[in-house]
Structure 1
Amino acid sequence: MTRQFRAIAVQPRWAAPHFFTARAFRAWLRSQLEAARPHLAPDRPNLVVLTELNGLPLVLRGAGWAAWLGTFERAAAALFLVRLPGALAVLMRERVSPVRALQLAGSAGNTRLYLETCRDLAREYGVYLCCGSAPMPRYALGQGGKEVRRAPGVLTNQSVLFGPQGDLIGVADKVHLTPAEEAGGVDLSPGELSELRVFPTPVGDLGVAISLDAFRADVIGRLEAGGCTVLLQPDANAAPWTALEGLPPDPGNVRDQPVAWLESSWTATTHGKSIRYAVNPMVVGNLLDLTFDGQSAITGRGEDAPEPRSYALTEPRPGFIALAPWVAEGAPDELRALGQHLAANSGHPRENAYREDLLWADLHLPESRVPMPEPTPHEQALRALLAGTARYPAARPAAQGWALLSLGMATLLLRRHKKWGR
């Protein structure tokens, strides 16, 4: 029996205020499902795929003032001071960096907000939802299944899949981290290649390769060996789209960003084995001092999309079933200059004038032959949390003296920032 379904990729533009409060975050994610609503097919299952790290800026929740500092590095330093009791305890107990300690100290509340928001949206809109991804701990059930335990020091870039009834289908960690995700940046933990699995659903045998993972042969090979037919590539490309890039393991291989992107989803579908389709949504927008840009795409085999087209700065070719236009067309030098004008702190009139978009395509596959994988201890713990049958360990209240000292230090930092500027 043939599976017929609709795939939707949402390309949003984010901004720091979307993460200042729980209400703002829910509204921002809901706006993406609302954008998808007119395109949901009434006669077949729908798959909606959101973008990478759309939960990372939740570190700003409850502290919108930190955005005044202008850079993520300064904001993180100020937040560490304000949240010193909890963050310092994690830093000393789990021997992690300050930036990872800051994220882990607030992980219980932010994880709950992220998961419950995504679950509720999947249920409300009746879709299969790839939530994008967020930095989250790894959990396991303890104390008779009534409480979850967090793996000490672990914080991975995780993508979560929900079904249309709000049921958690599975979780995938990012295996290959970019330099900005490693110790010099937000300091995440790499996932384990051996834990990547394929999830059979009415919208395809889903395999997740978060951003850089979709460029890596070991990840694509493992997903193909598991029978993946639909590759999900949530993305947050932290650079101007028309800039040059050179990433590990071959930093000397410098080329235009769009040329590099042809090595991910497009190659997996046009030159691979089992993967028939790929959905690659990309977030755009300047977030404090960080720049995010790209072109979202839904790719397939050449015969699925014979019309030649491609990313900016690349030659047209078959394989793009749907493709978001970039903000402009023109000569390569003009596009490279425009990419810099759009970037954070450029001061140009077109700064942050990125294009929001949404792509959809009706796809079909033969009946699945992939078995549903056994849930991991982490997935079991998340299901228990969402069902309300397990809880987070009780947080230790901060001493009043510590809290007052932290607030005072942050106030001094803010005053210094206002006096001397950025």
Structure 2
Amino acid sequence: MPRHFRALAVQPKWHAHDFTSAAAFKAWMRSQLEMARPHLTTNQPNLVVLTELNGLPLVLRGGRWATPLGTFQRVAAALFVGRLARTLPLMWREGVSPIRALQLADADANTRLYLHTCRDLAREYGVYLCCGSAPTPRYSLVGGQPRRAPGTLTNQTVILDPQGQLIGVADKVYLTPDEEAGGVDLTPGDLSELRVFPTPVGDLGVAISLDAFRPEVIGRLEEQGCTVLLQPDANGAPWTAKEGLPPDPANLRDQPVAWLESSWTASTRGRSIRYAVNPMVVGNLLDLTFDGQSAITGRAEDAPEPRSYALTSPRPGFLALTPWVTTGTPEHLRRAGRERAAGSGHPLENEYRTDVIWADLTLPATALTPPARTAHEEALSAILGGQASRNPSRVAPGLLAGLGILAYLSWRGLRKR
């Protein structure tokens, strides 16, 4: 039987205060499903796709006191020192950097909060949910209990069914410079571990942000029969700025021009991939700017009406596209992007467009079988089956000044490398 379903991409706006408590995070995540609610259909399954790194700012949980420091780097350094009783032993024991130690210090509690929040939303709204992505450890079951692999922290997507049960997990393979050692210091995923998950809402393959630009990622997913590509995204720059993407950072292009090489190309020119869903988060998170246009793309015959991203010429293939905040000449668009960026001081600073886009899609019945679960997926299933922790970690008080100085010097040393 053919599969008929609705795909929805949510484009939310985030603020630092959305992540300073568990209640605030749950409310922010719920607001995204509430945005989608009016567009959910009752006569076919719904696939809701959320944005990349929507769990990264959970490092701020319990740290509202630090957010007035203004920049992500200053706030992270202050939180590292404030949580020194937990971060410093992690550096010594697991051989990780201060920024990775800061994230790992609360990783178990934040992973449970993230997964349980998404599980509850998938159940309540009755949707297939691509949770976005979050920096997440790799786990295995030891004596029936999830145990974190030392030192590892990947940019990780989790897909859930309408009962809140795990469908599958994917790690981001190709990291941007901001995700590498000089930034938030994540662990690259393994290309050979990317798999395709057959569901009533498509044979789902995940290519997180930069992965969707990589032919080897798209090729691996197509070899396994991917029909719906999921590309959660968090573009950390003004949308109309110039950028150079790895592996050729000197090749500066308008970002929307570069974005045509990801989901749009995969769905319009691919072999098995028929559709792609690319949600993008917007908003200034402390001193960091995030902007973009969410899109659902397909074959030219599926979407013959010409349209496209800002600063690009109209073309077929866009089934749904969030308009950017304004229209006009390239000079006007670039100025509008700068005005909204963090620290601009302009009256329009942080004025971005939120949106939900959707498209009704059809695919033939799948001939694929679900892949075997990994040890990590078995462990996440155990976490999803448990109850939320009632004892969240607290910031350690009364730390010694000498240890604080040592931590600060360690942090500065990392930033200079």
How far residue 50 of structure 1 moved from its aligned partner, in angstroms, is 0.3
Query: Counterparts of 2:245 and 2:277 in 1: how far apart (Å)?
Result: 22
Query: Counterparts of 1:37 and 1:395 in 2: how far apart (Å)?
Result: 31
How far residue 251 of structure 1 moved from its aligned partner, in angstroms, is 1.2
Alignment of 1:271-420 (within 5 A): 271-388=269-386, 403-405=397-399
How far residue 409 of structure 1 moved from its aligned partner, in angstroms, is 8.8
TM-score normalised by structure 2 residue count: 0.94
Which position in structure 2 is the counterpart of 1:203?
201
Residue 355 of structure 2 aligns with an amino acid whose one-letter code is D
Say whether the 8 Å CA contact 2:321–2:357 is kept in structure 1: yes
Query: Counterparts of 1:171 and 1:408 in 2: how far apart (Å)?
Result: 42
Alignment of 1:142-157 (within 5 A): 142-143=142-143, 145=144, 147-157=145-155
Alignment of 1:60-209 (within 5 A): 60-143=60-143, 145=144, 147-209=145-207
How far residue 149 of structure 1 moved from its aligned partner, in angstroms, is 1.6
Say whether the 8 Å CA contact 2:51–2:279 is kept in structure 1: yes
Say whether the 8 Å CA contact 1:140–1:150 is kept in structure 2: yes
Residue 30 of structure 2 aligns with an amino acid whose one-letter code is R
Query: Counterparts of 1:397 and 1:202 in 2: how far apart (Å)?
Result: 42
Q: 1:228 to 1:333 in 2, by over 3 A?
A: same
How far residue 406 of structure 1 moved from its aligned partner, in angstroms, is 5.7
**What secondary structure does 1:405 align onto?**
coil
Which position in structure 2 is the counterpart of 1:222?
220
Q: 1:85 to 1:269 in 2, by over 3 A?
A: same
Which position in structure 2 is the counterpart of 1:416?
none
Query: Counterparts of 2:400 and 2:102 in 1: how far apart (Å)?
Result: 13
Q: 1:168 to 1:349 in 2, by over 3 A?
A: same
How far residue 277 of structure 1 moved from its aligned partner, in angstroms, is 0.2
How far residue 403 of structure 1 moved from its aligned partner, in angstroms, is 3.5
Query: Counterparts of 2:237 and 2:183 in 1: how far apart (Å)?
Result: 14
Residue 317 of structure 2 aligns with an amino acid whose one-letter code is G
Name structure 2 gaps, 5 residues minimum: 408-417
Could you tell me the percent identity over the aligned residues?
A: 71
* Per-residue Cα deviation, 1:82-134 (whole angstroms, up to 9, x for no partner): 10011111110010100000100110110000000000000000000000000
Query: Counterparts of 1:318 and 1:337 in 2: how far apart (Å)?
Result: 28
When the two chains are superposed, the root-mean-square deviation of aligned CA atoms in Å is 2.0
Say whether the 8 Å CA contact 2:109–2:393 is kept in structure 1: no
Q: 1:42 to 1:96 in 2, by over 3 A?
A: same
**What secondary structure does 1:62 align onto?**
coil
Say whether the 8 Å CA contact 1:286–1:344 is kept in structure 2: yes
Say whether the 8 Å CA contact 1:170–1:199 is kept in structure 2: yes
* Per-residue Cα deviation, 1:36-56 (whole angstroms, up to 9, x for no partner): 111111000000000000000
Say whether the 8 Å CA contact 1:3–1:202 is kept in structure 2: yes
**What secondary structure does 1:158 align onto?**
strand
Q: 1:74 to 1:43 in 2, by over 3 A?
A: same
Q: 1:396 to 1:230 in 2, by over 3 A?
A: closer
How far residue 395 of structure 1 moved from its aligned partner, in angstroms, is 11
How far residue 388 of structure 1 moved from its aligned partner, in angstroms, is 2.8
**What secondary structure does 1:152 align onto?**
coil
Query: Counterparts of 2:347 and 2:89 in 1: how far apart (Å)?
Result: 45
Query: Counterparts of 2:337 and 2:178 in 1: how far apart (Å)?
Result: 20
How far residue 290 of structure 1 moved from its aligned partner, in angstroms, is 0.1
How far residue 306 of structure 1 moved from its aligned partner, in angstroms, is 0.2
**What secondary structure does 2:235 align onto?**
coil
Query: Counterparts of 1:20 and 1:406 in 2: how far apart (Å)?
Result: 25
Query: Counterparts of 2:393 and 2:353 in 1: how far apart (Å)?
Result: 44
Query: Counterparts of 2:338 and 2:327 in 1: how far apart (Å)?
Result: 15
Which position in structure 1 is the counterpart of 2:415?
none
Say whether the 8 Å CA contact 2:50–2:232 is kept in structure 1: yes
* Per-residue Cα deviation, 1:135-188 (whole angstroms, up to 9, x for no partner): 010000112x2x222111100000000000111111000000000000010000
Which position in structure 2 is the counterpart of 1:40?
40
* Per-residue Cα deviation, 1:257-279 (whole angstroms, up to 9, x for no partner): 00000000000011111000000
Query: Counterparts of 1:118 and 1:279 in 2: how far apart (Å)?
Result: 19
Instruction: Provide the aligned length of Structure 1 versus Structure 2.
Output: 404
Q: Return structure 1 stretches of 4+ with deviation > 6 angstroms.
A: 394-398, 407-410
**What secondary structure does 2:320 align onto?**
strand
TM-score normalised by structure 1 residue count: 0.93
- Match 1:212 to one of 210, 213, 220: 210
Residue 100 of structure 1 aligns with an amino acid whose one-letter code is R
How far residue 370 of structure 1 moved from its aligned partner, in angstroms, is 1.3
Which position in structure 2 is the counterpart of 1:245?
243
Query: Counterparts of 1:279 and 1:405 in 2: how far apart (Å)?
Result: 47
Query: Counterparts of 2:89 and 2:399 in 1: how far apart (Å)?
Result: 15
Name structure 1 gaps, 5 residues minimum: 414-422
How far residue 247 of structure 1 moved from its aligned partner, in angstroms, is 1.7
Query: Counterparts of 1:388 and 1:35 in 2: how far apart (Å)?
Result: 28
Query: Counterparts of 1:409 and 1:149 in 2: how far apart (Å)?
Result: 28
